[in-house]
Structure 1
Amino acid sequence: MTSTWTDFRRARRRSRQAWALLAAAGLTLLAALGWFFTAGQFALGEPQADGPTEAPVLAPGWMKPVPPVRPVPGGSAVEVLATLPVKGRAPGNNYERSAFGQAWLDVDRNGCDTRNDILRRDLAGASFTEGSRCRIGAGSFREPYTGRSIEFRRGAESSKAVQIDHVVALGDAWQKGAQQLTAVQRQHLANDPLNLIAADGQANQDKGASDAASWLPPNKAFRCHYVARQISVKAAYGLWVTAAEKDAMKRVLDACPGQPAVVPR
């Protein structure tokens, strides 16, 4: 009888231990899921206010708009996203940067190349190099992708700390409709201020040619504007999205359903 009671108590103890381990594993899984949806790449809910929430498009007085293929529709980014075609990627092994024209053309014909136009637009206290009315030599800004404060100084090594990012990467655009554009339309896409943001060099390198399904700005406060801007560029140039990309964009916009499309003005 004693042996039977002892075995029973041991069995109960092992059962409690097993349940405790299962409960701990469940809590760990819940914690991991909680991180993924609150702090991970596709966080739901309100974005964290880590830095800027938007970036400029045009600078009144000296920056001219670049003619797109079609005007960006008004309304919310969610509404415009619903109008974009959903397709798979076209082959990208024939992509060359030269298909979008020489880098940093003066497409708006204001006398300055696009890179310097964007630096002048985005940097606070931007100053020209001596003897130039175009070349930006220095400035500072609260960088939108990371939320960090960055000082720009022109130089062989220092200039790369601030790069000009194509919001819709040209390699991505090439696989999602840009091959059907004319050479002039591709030049406009590559130099349109709507599609350009001064960004942290390392963040720009990390992004590469990624779409919203595989890269989003670390600064969560900027993601709604970033995705709305990608949608607006794709609408303006007749580009499409993949199913995974559209799902990723919708997840971001779930936190900001009223986010407007970005209309240059």
Structure 2
Amino acid sequence: MRRLRLLLGLLVLVLVTGGCDAVLEAGLPTSTDSTQADAATPGARKALRLLAALPAGARVSPSSLGYDRDAFGSAWADVDGNGCNQRDDVLLRDAVPGSTTVAVQGSCDHDVLAGTWVDPYTGRRLTFDDLKDPGQAQAIQIDHVVPLAEAWTSGAVDWSDERRRRYANDLGVLLASDGPTNAAKSDDDPAAWRPRQAYQCRYARQWVAVKSAWDLSVDDSERRALEEMLAAC
């Protein structure tokens, strides 16, 4: 009973001193915030504040700024030094818990051979029994939530090669996704492409989190699309 009274007192204090935003940032559920958010993804209201603080940028094509995928380094470098490339790290992290089969390969203790994933963008369940088969490997891809070409036009064109390499392999930027869906998303921003409606809130929050963490700009149509998705959270 004493513990319950202390908890109620803390909740009252948060409401009095910080309002709804304080409840969101304390991790308590509200009607506008998903209780599924992880620590790296802000709640909807915080995401709106972060979005408002992002610098405005022009909507330009990556090719007009000389976009070059190679400027971000080779794919899935082991930037965290755990012995496994980032693809295996993401596949293991995003798989349905307990579904993966892994092997030791060189210095990597979780070379992912098989498993089941739920594509966040479509909700489709994906099961593979041999990820060494090229066809199966292509059917489960690692998506940059904010694509490399979009990052390029939003500020990465001016980064050092090392910073671009770190961005391309940042686990906070990456998601395991359905291959054809990832191909359809391509380099689009939220003004041009959106996932299924049930995932749009989380998608917008993660997009804003990435752009805020990496000091990237947003253009007007992108900002409006993000505001619309966040308002519906």
Q: Scaled by the length of structure 1, what TM-score is found? A: 0.67
Deviation at 1:54, TM superposition (A): 6.1
1:97-132 alpha-carbon deviations (Å, 9 max, x no partner): 111111110011111100110001111222114656
CA shift at 1:92, angstroms? 2.0
Q: Confirm or deny: 8 A CA contact 2:92 2:100 kept in the other structure.
A: yes
Higher RCO (Cα < 8 Å, 6 or more apart): 1
Residue of 92, 111, 116 corresponding to 2:88? 116
2:176 aligns to what?
A: 198
- Alignment of 1:233 with 2:205, yes or no, is no
1:174 maps to 152
Alignment of 1:146-225 (within 5 A): 146-152=122-128, 153-154=130-131, 155-217=133-195, 219-225=196-202
**Displacement of 1:95:** 1.1
Instruction: Report the CA distance shift for 1:106/1:75 in structure 2 as closer, same or farther (over 3 A).
Output: farther
Q: What SS does the aligned partner of 1:135 have?
A: strand
2:113 aligned residue: 137
Q: Is the 8 A contact 2:44 2:230 kept in 1?
A: no
Match of 1:42 in 2: none
* Structure 1, unpaired ranges of 5+: 1-45, 47-51, 59-71, 257-265
Stretch moving more, 89-98 or 145-154: 89-98
Which residue identity is paired with 1:113?
N
**How far does the alpha carbon of each residue in 1:192-243 deviate from its partner, in whole angstroms, 9 at most, with x for none?**
11100000111100000000000011x2111111111111111111110110
Secondary structure, counterpart of 1:206 in structure 2? helix
Distance 1:183 1:74 in 2: 32
C-alpha change, 1:138 and 1:145, in structure 2 (3 Å) is: same
Describe how 1:64-79 pairs up with structure 2 within 5 A. Answer: 76-79=46-49
Change (3 A) 1:54 1:199: farther
| Structure 2 CA distance for aligned equivalents of residues 97 and 210 of structure 1 | 15
Q: Select the structure of larger CA radius of gyration.
A: 1
CA distance in 2, matches of 1:53, 1:164: 25
Aligned mates of 2:137, 2:78 — CA distance in 1: 20
Q: What SS class does the counterpart of residue 209 from structure 1 fall into?
A: coil
**Counterpart amino acid of 2:160?**
T
Structure 1 residues 133 and 111, CA gap change in structure 2 (3 angstroms)? same
The AA in structure 1 aligned to 2:49 is E
Of Structure 1 and Structure 2, the greater helix share is in 2
Helix, strand or coil: the match of 2:141? strand
Q: Distance in 2 between matches of 1:212 and 1:224?
A: 11
Who is 1:247 aligned against?
A: 224
Deviation at 1:74, TM superposition (A): 11
1:81 aligns with 2:54: no
Contact persistence 1:54–1:226 (CA under 8 A):
no
The answer on whether the counterparts of 2:142 and 2:175 sit within 8 Å (CA) in structure 1 is yes
Q: Is the 8 A contact 2:43 2:205 kept in 1?
A: no
Cα distance 1:113–1:235, how it changes in 2: closer, same or farther (>3 A)?
same
Q: Is 1:127 aligned with 2:101?
A: yes
Q: In the alignment, residue 176 of structure 2 is paired with which amino acid?
A: A
How many positions carry a matched residue from both structures?
192
Equivalent residue of 1:213, what SS? coil
What CA RMSD, in Å, does the superposition of the two structures yield over aligned residues?
Answer: 2.6
* Match status 1:100 vs 2:72: yes
Structure 2 letter corresponding to 1:141: W
Note if contact 1:119-1:198 (Cα within 8 Å) is conserved in structure 2: yes
2:211 is matched by which residue type in structure 1? Answer: K
SS at match of 1:157: helix
Q: 1:73 to 1:57 in 2, by over 3 A?
A: closer
Report the TM-score when normalising by structure 2. 0.76
